[in-house]
Copies of this chain bind each other. A is one copy, B any other.
Amino acid sequence: MQLALIGAGRIGQVHAQAITAHPGVKLAAIADFRHEAAEALALTYSSQAMSTEAIFADETIDAVLIASSTPTHAEYFEQAAQSGKAVLCEKPIALDLARTREALDVLSSNPVTCALGFNRRHDPQFSALKQAVAEGRIGVLETLSIISRDPLPPPAEYVAASGGLFRDMMIHDFDMARWLLDEPITFVQATASCLIDPAIGEAGDVDTAMVTLTTASGRLCHINNSRRACYGYDQRIEAFGSGGMLQAQNETETRLRFTGEGGQVEEKPQWFFLERYAAAFAREIDDFVTAWQQQRAPLTSAHDGLEALRLAEAAERSLKEGRRIALDDIR
């Protein structure tokens, strides 16, 4: 697969590394609105800088990975589909439902292999949990708890353009919830506060949130977000059912343990997504390439992006109105 990367920022660099390490993909080109950033990254990974126009016009390029800034996603997404290229798009396609639906319509008319950057589904531990639940290891799933805390809050200017915690951060957890609950979600209840950085509150956002989802059969799901955990990236899932419980625990760099006067000490969790999801990013590329080769659907789809966004909208409305929101009312 000849793959072009659009976006040479932090997440673009993560993908460049994962693409290069994959034996079945060639990093054919890199685009960035700051051309010198594209050139620098191209130098590191033996690729070439190219404009997005040139990329979409180049018939030797099979696929694009969209890792540019959020407001540009939808347009590049549509151009990729229209030029017949497979597309792996970082989430979200857009911050609102209407624009997202437009992009999905373009995809319907121009069907190409399409995956969305919900990287956590590719994490080996979460994959193993999903598989164990599917195999009935815990009997019937009853409740799910997802804890997701970032090590540090983003700067206030980022927050202002982010679409808010539910669309920007909890969107990943909504996707995990949908994937693991494995049946329609019916109701959403949200509670949230600004406890960490007053500037986030002044920007109209929250930094600490708890959301409860209910499914058609009555399963309950708790999502727990904080923009700051001093000990690092806190990424845990607990699935509880009639036959037991599965817990995905935080991972550490090594298993070294020190015992001294102060107690028994193990390492703190890996610091952030670059470390924690390094394997997931590699597997995400592999799933995308393999799906394209085998003409099968990738593990994630553009539709998953739309559905996660609907949950974010519902959570936002629930927070404002102080009541549970029926997901059917979010159109």
Contacts and interface: CB of A to CB of B under 8 A. Distances in A.
Interface of A: 21, 124-125, 128-129, 132, 137-140, 142-143, 145, 149, 187, 189, 191-196, 208-210, 212, 214, 217-220, 222, 224, 226, 228-231, 234, 240, 242-269, 321-324
A256 B264 CA distance: 11
9 contacts: A125-B256, A140-B195, A142-B208, A193-B218, A244-B260, A263-B268, A264-B268, A322-B324, A323-B324
B218 A230 contact: no
A143 B323 contact: no
Given A250-B255, A256-B125, A263-B268, A191 B219 contact: no
A328 to B, nearest CB: 14
Contacts of A192: 220
Q: Which 3 A-B pairs have the closest CB atoms?
A: A193-B218, A244-B260, A323-B323
A219 B209 CA distance: 10
B220 A261 contact: no
B218 A194 contact: yes
B248 A255 contact: yes
A112 B132 CA distance: 52
Nearest to A145: B224
B256 A247 contact: yes
A268 to B, nearest CB: 5
A247 B259 contact: yes
A258 B230 contact: no
